[in-house]
Structure 1
Amino acid sequence: MKNNLYYPQVSLSDKEIFAEIKKEREVIGYYSLPYVDTTVLKTRLDDLNFPQKQIAIIGIGGSTLGTYAIYNFLKYNKQHNKSLKKELFFFESTDPVNLNGTLAQLNLKDTLFIIISKSGTTIETISIFKYLMSITKIDKSNLLVITEDDSKLNTFAKTNDINTFDIPKNVGGRFSVLSNVGLVPLYLAGFDIDELLKGAKKSSDSFFDKKKLFKHLLKKARTYYEFKDVYNMNAIFSYSQLLEGFNKWYVQLWGESLGKVDVNNTNQGLTPIGLLGPVDQHSFLQLIVEGQRDKTVTFIKIKDFKDNTKIAPISLEGLEELDYVNNLNFKELINLQADATIASVKELKKDIPIDIIEIEEISEFEIGKLLFYYELLTSIVGKFLRINTYDQPGVEGGKIILKGMLKNK
């Protein structure tokens, strides 16, 4: 007699999940990144003394998304505008029009190229690198390589006497922003990488020392897990264009980490959605409010934009009824828009799970806190789902097929 039983898995306790995360901390490298001393790295980069005013980062996915998230968040801040040494550009896509459009913004003779690939054989990255090498001189004077120490890209770099920076083997690409992947270009651009790590450490300590984030993250992760069959889409509604890059980073982190086959050979996954307010109030909000109840929403606000730009006190003929916005700061307007949207979902539609994250200000410390918060949350949800959060076998199949197609072309 054959008897297959498919009983629902009993949910683990918070104590058990925390114990597993602490054990995982011993082998998964991203947990230790906030505690790294950057003194040697900064000294080495200062000694290299690259004079170029622009940086072209060549990479894709985890090699670029985190750095772009931080750069996009900070680059327009008035404090950073004064201190930035270099402007960053990102070469990620094999779209030829986008490739050449980005190139048109560069002065190639005044550009430092940084190629980033953990494996060293990422086809998009190497293809773009080959093209760039064909149109301009790239050598040790204007190139850095960031990769694993035993990759083929590292072999290329050593053969050509090019400076390299290591990506630790136990740090996955989508969790690598606080490693050399992000620290090298951000430091060269003039950002305070110590404050970035300090912010990440704040989130880490708060969780592992069982302070504020301990119960918060476990409760949030458990909610996602226990209601995954109903609310299987998780939307982030970020009220600032500065968080566009963060949204993209979150989509990769959440999707690639949690879309897996679990220990019971069952397909698991939570679908990430990145939204920007107030723009997406005029598109996706309707679906949230009156569509199917299959989405949770996390609203992210910036408490102080430190920008007092005001709406001009001008009365427009025929539009006098909108004069109540005159002299209002734009930072007040966008946060009121966020508050109104939150109230409409929270108070009028009580069957939509929401939470609110408020960022104090636009700084390295605050974005560091936010990035590590979401890395921790991803790891905890992965434990509840009983999956391997750190591999991506679903991506590898397409790479193998593409390689075969290109070889047989």
Structure 2
Amino acid sequence: MKYTKNFYQIKSNLEIFERLKAERETIGYYNLPYQDTTEIKKYAQSITKKYVVVLGIGGSSLGARAIYEFLLPSNNYSKDLLFLETVDPLKINHCLKKVDLKDAQFVVISKSGNTIETISLFKYLNSLVEIDKSNCTIISEAQSSLTQFANDNNIKVFDLAKNVGGRFSVFSVVGLVPLAMVGVDIDNLLNGCKRVVDSFFKQEEYYKPIIRKARFLVENKSRFNINVLFSYSSLLESFNKWYVQLWAESLGKVNVNGTRQALTPIGLVGPVDQHSFLQMIMDGVRDKTVTFIKIDDLKDGTIIPKDSSKKFDNLSWGCAEDFTFNELLNMQADATIQSIQEQDDIPCDVISIRTVDEYNIAKIMFSYQLLVSCIGAFLQINTYDQPGVEYGKINLAEKFTQTS
């Protein structure tokens, strides 16, 4: 008897764990938490410009932006960090109105060195102000044309390791250099990462939640193929965008036997999206999992004031007076979580971030990177390439060839 098959069997948790342990030898992001940051910090301290302007797109900007915008409201940074990540001219010029270009440090980031959006922005900004070694930092792979440009023009360049993919690069020089320039404690970021990676690979606190969630999502991917991240704080809006790229570009692949995989990420922010997408979750098709993220302490004690003048007596929600907005936000989150849980047929989980600091945002971001790696291993795909993205680049190059 001859037997053949065209389906794959879901591996055991132990097999997946061993695969991730093996990946640590070749996939660079796993070991970023242990890097020496001395050179980055020394260089960052030498930057005296008021504005730090990052030219990058996708993995070159989303992670650093997520961290910066999470930390910004509760910190008094002496510099402003801005991200130019579009070729929409209206957006570009609107953003530049906020910047004194003569008092700006330009951080040009492209892993490949030939990202069209980044190179085009670089050329445009150079037409507005001379960009040279006095106001420019470049981050790219060692052998890229952008690194060669930096060397030819005596511009400081930080090498991005070839085995660190863009969407997994937030804790590499891609994220650490611009964040350090504005005063973010990058060592505390890496401490948060180390807490997670050490725990996971020692099969301690972080191991079971990550690998069990990955397994559930893969085993139920046909039924629940939409994964909703419902973040209860506007501080996490850019984190949601980072999550969407990490998830979609890593997991939308063809697996070992040619089957197309589809776990679709959606990022929501509460309470705003309680008034829109929550309706779809509650009464729509049961094809979604929901992960809630709450922040216990926003480091802000602003209170909903008590009305002593009787002016608002006829308005509702007098019971909310004397509560902090932080308390209100988390009560709204808890009420929504309870509503979902009461449905009994919507898989959901809850992540609580203790407070707003580098350590805690790093823990959740590194946890998500590990989760994506686990899911990719279960799916038996290449988690770290993005062949689908390359088609658009090829077609764009052809269009320029046709019009030149």
- Corresponding residue number in structure 2 for 1:35: 34
Distance 1:33 1:5 in 2: 39
Query: Are 1:64 and 2:58 matched, yes or no?
Result: no
- Of 103, 116, 126 in structure 2, the residue corresponding to residue 123 of structure 1 is 116
Q: 1:215: how far off?
A: 1.3
Q: 1:316: how far off?
A: 4.0
Distance 2:312 2:364 in 1: 44
Amino acid of the structure 2 residue aligned with 1:397: Y
Q: 1:42: how far off?
A: 1.5
- Corresponding residue number in structure 2 for 1:272: 265
Which region of structure 1 is more displaced relative to structure 2, 382-391 or 316-325?
Answer: 316-325
Distance 1:66 1:212 in 2: 25
Distance 1:280 1:322 in 2: 20
- Corresponding residue number in structure 1 for 2:379: 385
Query: Are 1:309 and 2:302 matched, yes or no?
Result: yes
Q: 1:137: how far off?
A: 1.5
Distance 1:63 1:346 in 2: 37
Equivalent residues of 2:8, 2:257 under 8 A apart: no
Which sections of structure 1, spanning at least 5 residues, go unmatched?
none
Distance 1:139 1:40 in 2: 21
Equivalent residues of 2:10, 2:379 under 8 A apart: no
What is the TM-score of this pair, normalised by structure 1?
Answer: 0.96
- Corresponding residue number in structure 1 for 2:12: 13
The 3-state SS of whatever aligns with 1:309 is coil
- Corresponding residue number in structure 1 for 2:395: 401
Which sections of structure 2, spanning at least 5 residues, go unmatched?
none
Matches within 5 A, 1:323-362: 323-347=318-342, 349-362=343-356
Q: 1:269: how far off?
A: 2.2
Amino acid of the structure 2 residue aligned with 1:85: S
The 3-state SS of whatever aligns with 2:295 is strand
Equivalent residues of 1:206, 1:212 under 8 A apart: yes
What is the TM-score of this pair, normalised by structure 2?
Answer: 0.97
Which region of structure 1 is more displaced relative to structure 2, 316-325 or 238-247?
Answer: 316-325
Query: Are 1:298 and 2:291 matched, yes or no?
Result: yes
The 3-state SS of whatever aligns with 1:212 is coil
Equivalent residues of 2:40, 2:180 under 8 A apart: no
Q: Deviations over 1:318-365 (max 9, x none)?
A: 733321111210000000000000000002x00000000000000000
Matches within 5 A, 1:10-159: 10-46=9-45, 49-77=46-74, 80-81=75-76, 84-159=77-152
Amino acid of the structure 1 residue aligned with 2:52: I
Equivalent residues of 1:85, 1:188 under 8 A apart: no
Distance 1:179 1:85 in 2: 23
- Of 361, 366, 389 in structure 1, the residue corresponding to residue 360 of structure 2 is 366
Distance 2:118 2:312 in 1: 54
Amino acid of the structure 2 residue aligned with 1:72: E
Distance 2:82 2:248 in 1: 25
Equivalent residues of 2:106, 2:137 under 8 A apart: yes
Matches within 5 A, 1:192-203: 192-203=185-196
